[in-house]
Structure 1
């Protein structure tokens, strides 16, 4: 049987990079989507190859429709028919109160975290329904239900929208053989916290987490990999919280 071909957005670092490597270990060929760091994306692609898979790194701004179209075109040309999508690319902007958030920050967060997921999901759904099957996993956030007051309410709002998309799209695409689920991470030790301006944030949150520690990117990748796998063949429309109990 041919290997599954999975597109992972935001695949050059953090949860995305860990997901690419885990999927490769599970037998996937992977298209590594990235927006800036070509060297990091190529390193992840090399890791996929070392795990026995084929890989291609593709620069893509998921908020740009033409970029999304090219991402899937390159994936299919280089790897074969796309059978899976992990919508991982996301931005937060600086931590702070909503009233202080710049308009350009709000627009970029919505464009990447929601519009990007919509564009990628639509293209994947078009391809998957034509072939009669496929899997989409969205990376949401515990913020979708906690709201993240004083930190990034706008980010939380986009992730709540991703949860709604997950449920609705699962119902719409189920008859076409396409499963759609989401993973909602909590505080995970990745580079995202530094990008927000608070590199130690995940560890400072440990006291508020029942397991008393931040999560690791590999732990989220494991949940994504399960949802992508045949073991989850009867799971669709689920939002799986992987947040240490928070």
Structure 2
């Protein structure tokens, strides 16, 4: 089997789509989930039914010890070759003056600090400086980083702006060590993260307003992520690929 790919938040939405497509392309999957073990196990079963290898690990990227345990589990599957920093949270629509420190801490810890700590674990394993064989990291950004999320998600947008900067800086830091670092910035994508933010109908309302006339699918985001992980993208690093239907 191929090298091991860690996908955080791999039980649903974009993360699930990445796991399924990457498994088809020969990766061995180590995916994390926080609460829905049934959904995570279903992804594993679907991969195994097609002859692939996968492991689901309960791991909250807001908890440093959980991150360490996730990568230790991945080590048991084989050499690490890739990381997709997909896990993230959104909150209910609010203006900045109504956001609490608790909300902001949760947002930044999960969306930013978690991505940093997962990348650190991956670099220690994949960098030629540390005896690794190289690899690829793909971070999940968002077009919200450019649009700002006014009157709804300025905190989420700011966290994704941090991911853009992180992607550029880390890419330059490890380029000579065999690791490529890129990001994918989705637009309006039809996943259940919107329901978790209190707007289950958000895609039905806003999708038709995009230049392409509809919301995107998780599979349409997974495709460029898996390409960036592949050898076909061997000369691509420090890049943010926008998948937004022209928005």
TM-score, normalised to structure 2, is 0.97
Alignment of 1:167 onto 2:168: yes
User: 1:165, 1:235 → 2: CA distance?
Assistant: 16
Q: Which residue of 2 aligns with 1:219?
A: 220
* 1:48 CA displacement: 1.7
CA displacement, residues 1-36 of structure 1 (integer Å, 9 cap, x when unaligned): x51210000001000011100100111110011111
User: 1:207, 1:38 → 2: CA distance?
Assistant: 34
* 1:132 CA displacement: 3.2
Q: How many residues align?
A: 244
Q: Which residue of 2 aligns with 1:56?
A: 55
Alignment of 1:204 onto 2:202: no
User: 1:101, 1:92 → 2: CA distance?
Assistant: 13
Q: Which residue of 2 aligns with 1:44?
A: 43
User: 2:39, 2:209 → 1: CA distance?
Assistant: 32
Q: Is the 8 A contact 1:63 1:119 kept in 2?
A: no
Q: Which residue of 1 aligns with 2:182?
A: 181
Which secondary structure does the structure 2 equivalent of 1:58 belong to? strand
**Structure 1 segments of 4 or more deviating over 4 A?**
none
Q: Which residue of 2 aligns with 1:112?
A: 110
User: 2:29, 2:83 → 1: CA distance?
Assistant: 10
Please list every run of 5 or more consecutive structure 2 residues that lacks an aligned counterpart in the other structure: none
Please list every run of 5 or more consecutive structure 1 residues that lacks an aligned counterpart in the other structure: none
Q: What RMSD over aligned residues (CA atoms) do the two structures have, in Å?
A: 0.9
Q: Which residue of 1 aligns with 2:196?
A: 195
User: 1:206, 1:82 → 2: CA distance?
Assistant: 37
* 1:202 CA displacement: 1.4
CA displacement, residues 155-197 of structure 1 (integer Å, 9 cap, x when unaligned): 1001000010101111110100100000000010000111100
Q: Is the 8 A contact 2:208 2:215 kept in 1?
A: no
